[in-house]
Amino acid sequence: MRRRDQIALKKGPISGLAEEVGVPQKHGLGAVRESLWPWILWTVVMAVVAWGIAASLQRFHRPVELGSRWVLWFLLVLPVLAFYAFRFHSRRQSTWGFSRLALLASIPPGIRTYFITLPFSLRCGAFALLIFAAAQPRLVNVFERSEDEGIDIVLVMDVSLSMEANDLEPNRFVAARNVMSDFVKQRPKDRIGFVIFGRDAYPYCPLTRDHHAIQRLLGKLRLRQIDDGQATAIGEALGTALNMLSSSKGKSKVVILLTDGANNSGEMAPRESAEHAAALGVRVHTVLVGSPSGEGGGLFGLRAPTDPELLEHIAARTGGMAFIATDKKALENRFQRILDLMEKNKFEHRIRTTSGVQDRFLAAAVLLFFLEMLLSLTWLRRLP
């Protein structure tokens, strides 16, 4: 009688190939351990991969963002693939070309049998790295830079004949021109305009950040350049400066008015100009050059009427300061004081750049694929 028939008579119907060849089936704790071990190994490999990703990102000491965060949803496919792979592995049967395998049951399993699913686990780890790289991890670089914000300033300078008085060396005009030139050099981020006045007022230079052009125009400036210089139109000069600032969109607007006399010309009254300045939010600082009494030096003892109270009113009405400079050193100090009073508005630049770091994760995935292939072809090679 054939062996198949003998087994059928003794034990009933044949339930599988292992029973046919005499290999005993595993039951109880052994079966549970055999079914859980691939999952334990898979979990360990995935945990090591996750730890490697986290450790790699922490080494940068910078924030990390994902350009395509939705790609990470594909990680949920890996446990599903593992489930079907391990289920197929548990059902896989040997196809040895021998009539009896019962003798092999007495041979204890080697250590390799515990790692037979390691190549698949490594493959899942490689896929996890590829998915994370596809999510486009990027380092975020944020640079903050704080700078002074420029303001709009109009310099208003008296060029009437009385500015020839030499109580300031070499005279009031040259001393004022030199101090204004130094002032321009110390405000590199500001837009600066220039108004000159005598009997009339004239916009000598529009608001500009081209300070080299301003310096050239200051160098060419002369007394009585626009008229005979026999009168002083303070109201007209301030109105001209306000007109220059009317189209300005700057948050801070300042006028610096420098004169050595009293208003005795022009159609616009200085107090009226001060009201307009206050309405526009323009701060006016005034500087009275020379003696408040009007005494001047020079060969002919130039004398000009002054009105310190008017200059103080203009400054007070617009939120500025009124100064008196009786000599060159005092004039320099007064302009330095004005510099100290200038708003130092700050603005911050936040420059944000990103740099991709997915290359290292792609390299790690290739390494895991290579390791899987190496183990599958050598130590953990399976025969048909």
Q: Mind spelling out the 3-state secondary structure of 19-51?
A: HHHCCCCCCCHHHHHHHHHHHHHHHHHHHHHHH
Q: From CA 328, how far away is CA 114, in angstroms rounded?
A: 95
Q: What pLDDT is stored for residue 105 in this prediction?
A: 55
Q: What pLDDT is stored for residue 23 in this prediction?
A: 47
Q: What pLDDT is stored for residue 300 in this prediction?
A: 45
Q: What pLDDT is stored for residue 33 in this prediction?
A: 63
Q: What pLDDT is stored for residue 329 in this prediction?
A: 85
Burial of 283 (0-12, 13-18, 19+ CB in 10 A): buried
Centre a 10 Å sphere on the Cβ of residue 338 and count the other Cβ atoms it contains: 19
Q: What pLDDT is stored for residue 302 in this prediction?
A: 55
Q: pLDDT tens for residues 360-374?
A: 889 989 999 999 888
Largest CA distance in the chain: 151
Q: Where are the domains of the chain?
A: 3-143+357-377, 150-344
Radius of gyration of the chain from its Cα atoms, rounded to whole angstroms: 46
Q: What pLDDT is stored for residue 327 in this prediction?
A: 80
- Short-list 24, 16, 8, 20, CA closest to 106: 24
- What is residue 207's three-state secondary structure? strand
Q: Which CATH class is domain 150-344?
A: alpha beta
Q: What pLDDT is stored for residue 284 in this prediction?
A: 94
Q: What pLDDT is stored for residue 244 in this prediction?
A: 92
Note if the pTM is more than 0.75.
Answer: no
Q: Taking CA 333 as the corner, what is the angle to CA 196 and CA 150, rounded to the nearest 5 degrees?
A: 60
Sheet of 253-259: strands edge to edge?
A: 201-208, 191-197, 152-158, 253-259, 282-289, 322-325
Token pair listed for 177: 């021109």
Q: 171-180: long-range contacts at Cβ-Cβ below 8 A with a sequence spacing of 24 or more?
A: 171/298, 172/260, 172/289, 172/290, 172/296, 173/223, 175/289, 175/328, 175/331, 176/258, 176/289, 176/331, 177/218, 177/221, 179/328, 179/331, 179/332, 179/335, 180/155, 180/218, 180/258, 180/335
Q: From CA 132, how far away is CA 73, in angstroms rounded?
A: 10
8 Å CB contact between 140 and 66? no
Q: List, for the chain, all residue ranges whose pLDDT scores fall below the cut of 70.
A: 1-34, 89-110, 142-149, 293-304, 343-352, 382-384
Centre a 10 Å sphere on the Cβ of residue 369 and count the other Cβ atoms it contains: 18
Token pair listed for 311: 């200059």
Residue with tokens 């350009």: 67
Burial of 382 (0-12, 13-18, 19+ CB in 10 A): exposed
